[in-house]
């Protein structure tokens, strides 16, 4: 009797194992299993909340923090948030409007671990680059003001680049590369393929700021006008958009002036560029808020292969 029962149990376990095997193999093939368990990823968020002297608020763009946070943490990465001033960073209020929400902004709002980390970001000065495998900067206009010239941020990116660790930037955050040099003393972006929020999207955003409730598909009707505005020299464009003295510089123009091979898609289309140097250095960039999940998935791919 006893033996029979053991044999039956044995068969049963074998049956359970055999039926779970395909599911396990399938999950593995899809890559749904934790794959970045041993990877530490640093997010550097702006602490700046004023849009120049316009008395308008700015900060980080919610979707550009939320989607990469949720996608990387679901992939198993250990994420650390830091900002120049530490503590809770300011969010661009326009990025809280319903037109700017996604499934990731909702997940992020209900992610207690994420909200806890966000309420007490580390002070950037206290961060050790050697503790992390990659760094990511969410966009929003904030980084133009407090990260492009920030010595801690510049040193941090230079360390990551030297160590061939991925540097990922999105929308306005390629601005953080403005003063970053490579080991020869050239601009890091010189000769590299990169994208960012484009001048025509900047025009679109400036025109839409009064009409932020207008759905994106209607804003797209104004694209032709923004493309012709974007052909103007930087000074004239800034003046026309009332951004003179408001924005310190335009991200697309800064990248071109620093020798980058600037690439872009039409306004508000998802677009990601990964530039890998012969020696394995990676700059990963995304054009706009629509590119945030594409960029995050690409970063997971790069970290899995490292």
Ligand X SMILES: *[C@@H]1O[C@H](CO)[C@@H](O)[C@H](O)[C@H]1NC(C)=O
- Choose the stretch contacting ligand X; rule: CB under 6 A; options: 19-27, 51-59, 62-70, 251-259: 51-59
- Choose the stretch contacting ligand X; rule: CB under 6 A; options: 14-22, 49-57, 139-147, 186-194: 49-57
148 binds ligand X (CB under 6 A): no
Which residues have CB under 8 Å from 62's CB, separation 6+? 91, 92, 95, 96, 100, 101, 105, 108
Residue from 35, 76, 80, 294 binding ligand X (CB under 6 A): 80
Q: 73: helix, coil or strand?
A: helix
Residue from 35, 50, 76, 78 binding ligand X (CB under 6 A): 78
Closest-CA residue to 194 (of 180, 207, 208, 211): 180
Select 216 or 246, whichever has its Cβ closest to ligand X.
246
Angle at 46 between CA 299 and CA 119, to 5 degrees: 90
The number of residues that bind ligand X (CB under 6 A) is 11
117 binds ligand X (CB under 6 A): no
Burial-class residue 130 by CB neighbours within 10 Å (0-12, 13-18, 19+): exposed
Query: Binding pattern to ligand X, positions 230-249, x when CB under 6 A?
Result: ------------x---x---
Query: Binding pattern to ligand X, positions 170-209, x when CB under 6 A?
Result: ---------------------------------------x
120 binds ligand X (CB under 6 A): no
Which residues have CB under 8 Å from 178's CB, separation 6+? 148, 149, 249, 254, 258
DSSP string, 108-149: HHT-HHHHHHHHTBEEGGG--GGG-SEEEE--SSHHHHHTTT
Residues forming the site for ligand X (CB under 6 A): 40, 51, 54, 56, 78, 80, 131, 209-210, 242, 246
């Amino acid at each position: 009797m006893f033996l029979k029962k053991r044999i039956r149990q044995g068969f049963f376990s074998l049956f359970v194992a055999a039926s779970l095997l395909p599911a396990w193999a399938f999950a593995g093939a899809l890559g749904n299993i934790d794959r970045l368990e041993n990877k530490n990823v640093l997010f550097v968020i702006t602490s700046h909340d004023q849009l120049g002297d316009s008395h308008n608020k700015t900060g980080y763009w919610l979707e550009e923090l939320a989607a990469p946070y949720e996608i990387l943490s679901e992939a198993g990465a250990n994420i650390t948030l830091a900002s120049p001033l530490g503590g809770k960073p300011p969010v661009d209020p326009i990025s809280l409007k319903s037109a700017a929400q996604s499934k990731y902004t909702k997940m992020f709002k209900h992610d207690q671990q994420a909200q806890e980390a966000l309420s007490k970001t580390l002070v950037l000065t206290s961060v050790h680059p050697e503790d992390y495998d990659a760094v990511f900067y969410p966009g929003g206009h904030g980084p133009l003001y407090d990260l492009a010239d920030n010595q801690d941020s510049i040193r941090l990116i230079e360390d990551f680049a030297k160590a061939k660790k991925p540097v990922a930037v999105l929308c306005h955050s390629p601005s953080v590369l403005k003063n970053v040099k490579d080991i020869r003393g050239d601009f890091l972006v010189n000769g590299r393929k990169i994208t960012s929020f484009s001048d025509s999207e900047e025009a679109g955003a400036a025109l839409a700021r009064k009409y932020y409730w207008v759905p994106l598909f209607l804003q797209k009707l104004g694209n032709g006008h923004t493309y012709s505005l974007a052909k103007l020299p930087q000074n004239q464009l800034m003046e026309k958009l009332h951004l003179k003295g408001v924005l310190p510089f335009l991200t697309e123009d800064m990248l071109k002036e620093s020798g980058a091979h600037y690439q872009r898609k039409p306004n508000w289309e998802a677009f990601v560029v990964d530039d890998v140097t012969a020696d394995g250095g990676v700059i990963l960039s995304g054009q706009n808020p629509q590119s945030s999940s594409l960029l995050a998935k690409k970063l997971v791919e790069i970290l899995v292969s490292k």
